[in-house]
Amino acid sequence: MSTAAQQSRPSSPASGQQTPPVGPVAAAILATGIGCFALGVLTVLARASQTLAAALTWFAPTGPLSGVTSLAILFWLLAWVGLAGLWRRRDVPIGRTTAVALVLLAVGFLLTFPPFAAWLPGK
């Protein structure tokens, strides 16, 4: 009996051999969702708190945007490397991973949207 993960791991049409596990692909997809979500959360935090905005000002001429985006990229890359290491030899269901990543991306997208930020407590 084959699992959903195994179904997403086809044979190479040319050689008939099994292709490598798709765990690293799932890791890249989920890490992107995590990075986008982190960007959204950090954007809200920097907007809500002057102290945090000052702490995230890593390059003064750019302001808090420098820290917000640099940290989001850092989270994205760390999540990518971490998950890729974890799922290196595994077949992870691509459909389910994509769904989770897209939810994270959508929430991140929403959190950057200024009218949404205005409804948050403390604004």
The binding site for another protein (CB under 8 A) comprises: 8-10, 12-13, 19-20, 22, 24-25, 28-29, 31-32, 35-36, 39-40, 43, 59, 61-63, 65-66, 68-69, 72-73, 76, 94-95, 97-98, 101-102, 105, 108-109, 112-115
In angstroms, give the least distance from the CB of 8 to another protein: 5
Whether 27 and 86 have beta carbons less than 8 Å apart is answered as: yes
Closer to another protein by CB, 50 or 62: give it. Answer: 62
Structure tokens belonging to residue 119: 């409804």
First to last CA, the chain: 54
List Cβ neighbours of 44 (8 Å cut-off, separation of 6 or more). 111, 117, 120
Closer to another protein by CB, 114 or 122: give it. Answer: 114
In angstroms, give the least distance from the CB of 74 to another protein: 12
In angstroms, give the least distance from the CB of 61 to another protein: 3
In angstroms, give the least distance from the CB of 119 to another protein: 14
Give the residue ranges of DSSP H helices in the chain. 4-7, 23-48, 50-55, 64-86, 94-112, 114-119
Q: Which amino acid belongs to residue 39?
A: L
- Compute the chain's Rg from CA coordinates: 19
Closer to another protein by CB, 6 or 55: give it. Answer: 6
